[in-house]
Amino acid sequence: MNRALRPLLATTAIFLLAYIAAVLQYPSMLSTRVLGNFLTDNAFLGIAAVGMTFVILSGGIDLSVGAVIGFSTVLIATLIMWAGLHPLIAFAITLAVTAGFGAVMGAAIHYLKVPSFIVTLAGMFLARGGASVLSPDSIGIKHELYTSISRSYILLPGGGRLTVIAMIMLAVFILGIVLAHRTRFGSYVYALGGNETSAALMGVPVARTTILVYTLSSTLAGIAGIVFSLYTSAGYSLSALGVELDAIAAVVIGGTLLTGGYGFVAGTFIGVMLQGLVQTYIVFDGTLSSWWTKIVIGGLLFLFILLQRLVFSAAVPGKKGFGPRKKAFRKS
Amino acid sequence: MKRQALTSALLRPQFAALAAVLFINWLLFPGFFTITWQDGRLFGSLIDVLNRGAPVAILAIGVTAVIATKGVDLSVGAVMAISGAVAAVMVSTGTPASIAIPVALLAGLVCGFWNGVLVTYLDIQPIIATLVLMVAGRGLAQLITEGSIVTFSDPLLSYIGTGALLGLPMPVVIALVLMIVTTLAVRRTALGLLIEAVGVNRSAARFAGISSRLLLLMVYSFAGFCAAIAGLIVAGDIRGADANNAGLWLELDAILAVVLGGTSLLGGRFSIPMSVVGALIIQAMNTGILISGFSPQFNLVVKSAVIILILVLQSPQAGQWISRRFTPLTPPPKRSAE
């Protein structure tokens, strides 16, 4: 068996076991209705997590995605309700703005040689602040397109509904998988995360790739914002608070190495679904309070980081280390 | 000699920035520097800046030590919520505050120790190791308070948040004492040097005989301890523990304060008093925005603008550009032997 697939298989196995355990307790959880809601409720998180996967694969981190989602919802709402634009034009403007925002962050990270953590932190403040300057209050969106999109879905066997936003998420995941594993850009991202210096020496365009990675992440956060506004039919500056942490957790649970250079977009999908499962289980249980979600997700995060450590320390020493590998200190 | 060192310290850009922010505040609100004595304590906007800035300053003291070791602690906000929740729940169920406060501080210490174990023994990147507690910690705090806001009327605990000692608000006194004690501890002993050594190169420090694991455990535990103190202050201030909102996003303010204070995120050189100055700059900006009548939402935009400015100024590229720009093209005059 390919050793590289081990974390992905472990995540999938844990998800299936957890789902089976949940179904044994509440048989009604095994229905396309629940699965359909899984996809719909976590669509924005999934889309943002695809972008986060690319950023983490390249060895960085993007703390601004939640704020960019919030900013996008407000921008869309103001463009539609105040400026009277058609939603499709509003979507296009939003994507252009978020893509530009990501490109600037990527350029700052590359050219100013500042850790991505700090640049995207500033981006997070800027996007949240910008959103609340646009409108501190929640703006409801009323438009035919919104009502028709929220009404249209594909009926799955068993009464489940595959909504438009769930389909958008699935499409983003498929595109993400193709982009990561079947294109030149994808291999550049992996090379960059493996080792920036050797990637540059091998001829990877480091500046362009870094800028593109953050542009991709912000654009996907913009799409997630569009999906979020379709989901809630509103724009609010404080929406999607802390989604960046959920997205990072999903990526880590999905088996992507936090130091970069190693992981799968498909794993992130399982990571998102596992978080959805925890939330749904807590809703089904009824006696557990919502704060258990945070504790369980924190616990899962810890478990998977530990798992990564174990898998990679069992791997060939010196080949793929998690952090600086210790070398025996020898007196010669 | 001593005086020269002091003046050069006061000429640092951080003090200029603080003075500039305070000056703008004074332009916006002429009574800004007025301090009055009332009911045995000082009142005034300046005192308010100190008082409101104290929790972030205390967090920043702990986070400075962590950042100096090339780490970062994202969990301090959640640890604040935990310590506040522990103290509030114990006090409201009849435990005397003299026991509840040490237990809450111990809880913070344990949280910090947990982070330290993840970073040292499991070799997890600090951002991620502390992210675990940042996500789970708020849930734990809610578990302790059972989801509600626990209120109390214990005099000792609320004295920590609202009392006054020698005319100064208690949070300011605590922050000041903590700053002086920590600065003396790191600068009058070899501790500061050891922390910097680990931050610059952990393996080299280990080979030089520094027990880097023990040191990192101590540093992360200390950050947790500082967060617990800040949590007690915030809980005492509102006479209640709000697990959802206590210390929310303060970890980012604390990191910003440390960066403003000139400590590099890449580890090494650090200064605890300068981080406190950084925290005061942030609070002076917050207060300025509030008294100028802008909506508090502008806070975030201004904060991000300040971060961007500092990042650009600190980046090596800008340094090169400035030195190219401002050095004369003629070769520098040779230093004659005087």
Q: How many other CB atoms are there within 10 angstroms of residue B39's CB atom? A: 6
CB pair distance less than 8 Å for B314 and A114: yes
pLDDT of residue A3: 64
What is d(CA B47, CA A236) in angstroms, rounded to the nearest whole number? 35
Is B330 part of any domain? no
Q: Which helix (H) or strand (E) holds B42?
A: strand B41-43
pLDDT of residue A73: 94
From the list B203, B265, B307, the residue facing A115 with the nearest CB is B265
CA neighbor of B21 nearest in space, from B308, B307, B278: B278
CA-CA-CA-CA torsion sign (A315, A54, A104, B12) = negative
**Residue scoring higher pLDDT (A296 or B3):** A296
In the A/B pair of chains, how many CB contacts fall below 8 A?
Answer: 135
pTM for this predicted structure: 0.80
pLDDT of residue B146: 80
CB pair distance less than 8 Å for A108 and B311: yes
pLDDT for B16-59, tens place per residue? 778 887 887 788 777 777 777 777 777 777 888 888 889 999 99
Chain B residues near residue A124 by CB distance under 8 angstroms: 252, 304
ipTM value: 0.71
Q: How many other CB atoms are there within 10 angstroms of residue A112's CB atom? A: 18
- C-alpha pair distances (Å), A141 with each of A89, A127, A225, A237, B207: 15, 20, 13, 14, 62
φ and ψ of B154, to 5 deg = -65, 125
String of DSSP letters for A253-294: HTT--TTSS---HHHHHHHHHHHHHHHHHHHHH-SS-THHHH
Residue of B nearest to A304 (CA): B132
What is d(CA B114, CA B129) in angstroms, rounded to the nearest whole number? 9
Is B33 part of any domain? no
What is d(CA B57, CA B253) in angstroms, rounded to the nearest whole number? 9
Strands B164-165 and B168-169 come out as antiparallel
Q: Please, how many CA atoms are within 13 Å of residue B103, restricted to the half-sphere of its CB?
A: 15
Domain ranges for chain A, please list them.
3-314
Mean local confidence (pLDDT), A16-24: 88
What is d(CA B253, CA B177) in angstroms, rounded to the nearest whole number? 21
φ and ψ of A241, to 5 deg = -70, 125
Ranges of H-type helices in chain B: 2-10, 13-28, 45-68, 76-92, 97-120, 126-145, 155-162, 170-187, 191-200, 202-207, 212-238, 250-260, 272-291, 298-314, 316-326
Which DSSP category does B188 fall into?
S
pLDDT for A269-300, tens place per residue? 999 998 888 888 888 877 777 777 778 878 88
From the list B122, B134, B207, the residue facing A306 with the nearest CB is B122
pLDDT of residue B3: 56
Q: Cβ(B205)–Cβ(B86) under 8 Å?
A: no
What is d(CA B252, CA B219) in angstroms, rounded to the nearest whole number? 18
Is B318 part of any domain? no
pLDDT of residue B285: 83
pLDDT for B280-294, tens place per residue? 988 888 888 777 777
Query: Which A residues in the span 273-302 are in contact with B, Cβ-Cβ below 8 Å?
Result: 289-295, 297-299, 301-302
CA angle (A224 as vertex; A221, A225 as ends), nearest 5: 90
Query: Which B residues in the span 180-239 are in contact with A, Cβ-Cβ below 8 Å?
Result: 202-203, 207
Q: Cβ(B38)–Cβ(B203) under 8 Å?
A: no
What is d(CA A147, CA A149) in angstroms, rounded to the nearest whole number? 6
CA–CA min distance B132, chain A (Å): 5
pLDDT for A49-93, tens place per residue? 999 999 999 988 898 999 999 999 999 999 998 888 888 999 999
From the list A248, A259, A292, the residue facing B131 with the nearest CB is A248
Q: How many domains does chain B have?
A: 1
From the list B127, B143, B256, the residue facing A291 with the nearest CB is B143
Which CATH number is A3-314 given? 1.10.3470
What is d(CA B226, CA A307) in angstroms, rounded to the nearest whole number? 31
What is d(CA B87, CA B101) in angstroms, rounded to the nearest whole number? 6
Is B91 part of any domain? yes
pLDDT for B193-246, tens place per residue? 888 888 888 888 888 888 888 889 999 999 999 999 999 999 888 888 887 777
Does B265 reach chain A within 8 Å, measured CB to CB?
yes
pLDDT of residue A7: 73
Domain of B82, CATH number, reads 1.10.3470
CA–CA min distance A302, chain B (Å): 6
Q: Which domain holds residue B65?
A: 46-293
Q: Which helix (H) or strand (E) holds A309?
A: helix A291-314
pLDDT of residue A57: 92
A154: CB partners within 8 A, 6+ apart: A161, A162, A167
The residue with tokens 């005086």 is B3
Inter-helix orientation angle B212-238/B97-120, to 10°? 140
**Residue scoring higher pLDDT (A258 or B186):** B186
Mutate to test the interface with A, among B253, B308, B310, B312 (most CBs of A within 10 A): B308
Tokens coding A9:
């298989």
Is B97 part of any domain? yes
